[in-house]
Amino acid sequence: MAIHSRHKINKNFAMSGMTDIVFLLLIFFMITSTLIVPAAQNVALPESNNQTQANPVLVVSIAVDKTIYVDDQAYGLGELEGVLQKKLASYGEAPTVRLNADRNLHMDEVFTFLNIAKRNRYKVILGTRPSD
């Protein structure tokens, strides 16, 4: 006579709960990573009490030595418009660009950048640091 156990152990493992948790974590990290726009270069920004809620799609930095950085790549002032047009072509009408201009910089480069943005209908946010 064979002895059989009344309680059988189920050896199957349900992955549906685990996949739900993985997808929720993936969504969480995707959302939180898009909220932070890193500054391309270390520039001394002017102080301001006002902060904007717009999310820029591109960061342009102008250092004291008049070097212009777009996504950590250095460019000259003459090639800036072509680079911006190429990088912002897929964002549709009026993409937002954040300009990080050093506070000790003369305004010639800033005005040139603003003229390029006006010609191409880009929205510009001036990067500032919170005042103390």
User: Is 23 or 6 the better-scoring residue by pLDDT?
Assistant: 23
The pLDDT > 90 percentage for the chain reads 6
Instruction: Return the sign of the alpha-carbon dihedral for residues 54, 29, 100, 117.
Output: negative
Token pair of 116 as six digits = 């390029």
User: Is 70 or 106 the better-scoring residue by pLDDT?
Assistant: 70
Position 43 scores a pLDDT of 62
Give the pLDDT confidence of 17-70 residue by residue, as tens digits: 889 999 999 998 888 776 655 555 566 565 666 666 667 778 888 888 888 888
Token pair of 104 as six digits = 């000790």
Position 38 scores a pLDDT of 55
Domains and CATH numbers, the chain: 47-130 (3.30.420)
